[in-house]
Chain A
Amino acid sequence: MSALLSLSGLNRRFGGLAAVSDFSLALESGIVTALVGPNGAGKTTIFNLVTGNLRADSGQILLHDKPIIGLSPHRIARLGIARSFQDLRLFGHMSVLDNVRAATEPTSWFWQAGGAAARQQRRERVETALERTGLSGLTQARAIDLAYAERKFLSMARIIATGARIWLLDEPASGLDPRSRAQFVDLLRSATAEGVTVCLIEHNLDIVTEVADRIAFLDQGRKLAEGEPADIMQDKALAAIYFGDRT
């Protein structure tokens, strides 16, 4: 079976800096892949390349074996790739409910297609998303008035509500307290149980070992290793890079 989303030979430079070099990765359906690496390794840049926010200098990105490079971000999103942002980017002055509803309404016209049936379906998606993230009680609060963990979960709720089958999550659990973190892990588990494919950027190695099926290790734009969590975690050389001991 070929991969759901496959990146091959991606390159991206910023001036003299090679942010991503010859990067390849295959995301299999229903699998959680973690991107791990020190700050500035190029993880977020890879997401930006996939979602069309940045254009790769060279390389190929295939979704269901069709190239998506060159499509604009909203088209790629409509193909079923949802992402979160490291800095969340919530719609600050809108209510929690509207933040989530907005995620279910891609059509750029004065109204949405599909009539009552589609409306009902969207409403159900919004409800599920709010329930799973524990935000059902906060629907009328503005996003900027939320507490830190609530914001993180709102960003997840938007992703759930899109109904996308591929999730790109940029440090979704950073800064969460243990209880919220457990809630997040449950959330991710139930999504993958339904066949959602996840690519996760995460610095906390405990979470990575807990949820990831595969790990790709990056440094300075290059993929240094990829494999099962157990193998990667035992690699002394990688640990040295990750924990900053480069001697």
Chain B
Amino acid sequence: MIAYLVNLATLTTIFAVLATSLNILIGYGGIFSIAQAVFFGVGAYAAAQVALHVTPDLLVASAAGAGAAALLSICLALPALRVRDEYFVIASLGLQMLAVTVFTEATPITGGFGGLVGIPPASLLGLPLTDPNAMLAACLGFLVLVLVLTRVLMRGSFGRSLMAIRDNDTAAEALGKNVMVLKTLAVMLGCAYAGIGGALYSAQMQFINVESFTLDQSVLIMAMVIIGGTGTLIGPLVGTVLILLLPAALSFIPGIPPTEIGVVQQMIYGLVMTLLMIFRPGGLVTLRTRRQ
């Protein structure tokens, strides 16, 4: 039981990193991507390769994951700079479908459908993380780092410029903002976070395959951000906890057969997303409007 809880806590921490990563794009940048699982995957594969062939150190693996994801994020930045919202959503959807195929077919790097197995247990600065509690602590450490960096950047001029572009890009340009550079940086930052999430995930699971990086996963991450609340620091964290606890909570409700829990869970978050958009589009955690 304890082992189960520690594992759940670690996964929640990792998904909190992912939700924060998507929040940079959706919440602060107004870049509505449904391809975040792609960069999660890229980070996971890159980190797994590093762990398998170079070093099991989590810092190195995370750096590799973040770097690879940031590099490939150009695939997302390009349409984000060129086209309107409607087109961009579809482009990101297309990227997601394409990536799943590539993940499945690029066997030398990703292990194909079978995935990468036997990823060695991670270590951090020479300390082994074989104990689940140590791994949880390490993941929490990464989450805190990501959150602190996010807060510093988003409270600063970078975040302000980004939100200005989100709210009105022409006006932001008229104030001297370089929309192209800012959006590219935002996409790279968000995707690098997702890459870190992927690195942590591969270290935690010690096995990864394409199943974890599909459209369904992207939609799940999106649901976390949207339900929790876009453009706030804690919103995505709340969303992550709610969504990851939902299956566990459902399993306590009598009358739902275990095989149907997945479906019921989907139905619930579909319903919650729709209702929130109608009644509270900012998500559960919204910035209070302070008008004296």
Contact with B along A84-106 (1 / 0, CB 8 A): 01000111111100110111011
Distance (whole angstroms) from the CB of B178 to the closest CB of chain A: 4
Q: Is the CB of B175 within 8 A of A111?
A: no
Residues of A within 8 A of B182 (CB): 108
Q: Is the CB of B174 within 8 A of A140?
A: no
Pick the residue among B170, B172, B185 that contacts A102 (CB under 8 A).
B172
Known pairs A111-B156, A137-B292, A140-B292; A106 contacts B177 (CB<8 A): yes
Which residue of A has the minimal Cβ distance to B175? A103
A192-230 CB contacts (< 8 Å) to partner B: none
Residues of A within 8 A of B163 (CB): 91, 93-94, 98, 102
Which residue of A has the minimal Cβ distance to B155? A98
B270-292 CB contacts (< 8 Å) to partner A: 287, 289-292
Known pairs A51-B174, A102-B172, A102-B175; A141 contacts B164 (CB<8 A): no
B162-194 CB contacts (< 8 Å) to partner A: 163-164, 166-168, 170-179, 181-182, 185
Contact with B along A138-164 (1 / 0, CB 8 A): 101110010000000000001000100
Among A10-18, A38-46, A56-64, A73-81, the stretch in contact with B: A73-81
Which residue of A has the minimal Cβ distance to B171? A89
Task: Assess whether A53 is interfacial by the CB under 8 Å rule.
Answer: yes
Known pairs A108-B181, A110-B153, A137-B292; A91 contacts B174 (CB<8 A): no
Q: Is the CB of A142 within 8 A of B289?
A: yes
Distance (whole angstroms) from the CB of B183 to the closest CB of chain A: 10
Q: Is the CB of B290 within 8 A of A105?
A: no
Which of B164, B182, B292 has most chain A Cβ within 10 Å? B164
Pick the residue among B156, B171, B173, B231 that contacts A91 (CB under 8 A).
B171
Task: Assess whether A247 is interfacial by the CB under 8 Å rule.
Answer: no
Task: Assess whether B87 is interfacial by the CB under 8 Å rule.
Answer: no
Task: Assess whether A112 is interfacial by the CB under 8 Å rule.
Answer: yes
Q: Is the CB of B290 within 8 A of A74?
A: no
Interface size on B, residues (CB 8 A): 30
Which residue of A has the minimal Cβ distance to B290? A140
Which of A74, A90, A102, A162 has most chain B Cβ within 10 Å? A102
Which residue of B has the minimal Cβ distance to A106? B176
Q: Is the CB of A141 within 8 A of B292?
A: yes
Task: Assess whether A107 is interfacial by the CB under 8 Å rule.
Answer: yes
Task: Assess whether A125 is interfacial by the CB under 8 Å rule.
Answer: no
Pick the residue among B161, B167, B174 that contacts A105 (CB under 8 A).
B161
Distance (whole angstroms) from the CB of A120 to the closest CB of chain B: 14
CA distance A140 to B291 in the complex (A): 7
CA distance A110 to B287 in the complex (A): 23
Q: Is the CB of B177 within 8 A of A108?
A: yes
Pick the residue among B153, B167, B179, B290 that contacts A94 (CB under 8 A).
B167
Known pairs A91-B171, A93-B163, A111-B158; A78 contacts B289 (CB<8 A): no
Task: Assess whether B160 is interfacial by the CB under 8 Å rule.
Answer: yes
* Chain A interface residue bracket vs B: 35 or more
Task: Assess whether A129 is interfacial by the CB under 8 Å rule.
Answer: no
Known pairs A91-B163, A91-B167; A110 contacts B158 (CB<8 A): yes
CA distance A158 to B174 in the complex (A): 10
Q: Is the CB of B181 within 8 A of A93?
A: no
CA distance A32 to B249 in the complex (A): 67
Task: Assess whether B259 is interfacial by the CB under 8 Å rule.
Answer: no
Q: Is the CB of B170 within 8 A of A85?
A: yes
Which of B157, B167, B290 has most chain A Cβ within 10 Å? B157
CA distance A110 to B188 in the complex (A): 12
Which residue of B has the minimal Cβ distance to A105? B157
Residues of B within 8 A of A102 (CB): 157, 160-161, 163-164, 172, 175, 177
Distance (whole angstroms) from the CB of B184 to the closest CB of chain A: 9
Q: Is the CB of B153 within 8 A of A53?
A: no
Task: Assess whether A165 is interfacial by the CB under 8 Å rule.
Answer: no
Pick the residue among B153, B178, B289 that contacts A74 (CB under 8 A).
B178
CA distance A162 to B291 in the complex (A): 25
Task: Assess whether A82 is interfacial by the CB under 8 Å rule.
Answer: yes
Pick the residue among B175, B176, B179, B291 that contacts A141 (CB under 8 A).
B291
Known pairs A98-B163, A102-B161, A102-B175; A89 contacts B290 (CB<8 A): no
Task: Assess whether A243 is interfacial by the CB under 8 Å rule.
Answer: no
CA distance A203 to B274 in the complex (A): 44
Residues of A within 8 A of B176 (CB): 74, 77-78, 106, 162
Which residue of B has the minimal Cβ distance to A80? B176
Residues of B within 8 A of A158 (CB): 175
Can you name 13 A-B residue pairings with CB atoms under 8 Å? A51-B174, A73-B170, A73-B173, A91-B172, A98-B163, A99-B164, A102-B175, A106-B177, A108-B185, A110-B153, A112-B157, A141-B290, A141-B291
What are the 3 tightest A-B residue pairs by CB atom distance, in nearest-first order?
A: A106-B176, A89-B171, A108-B178
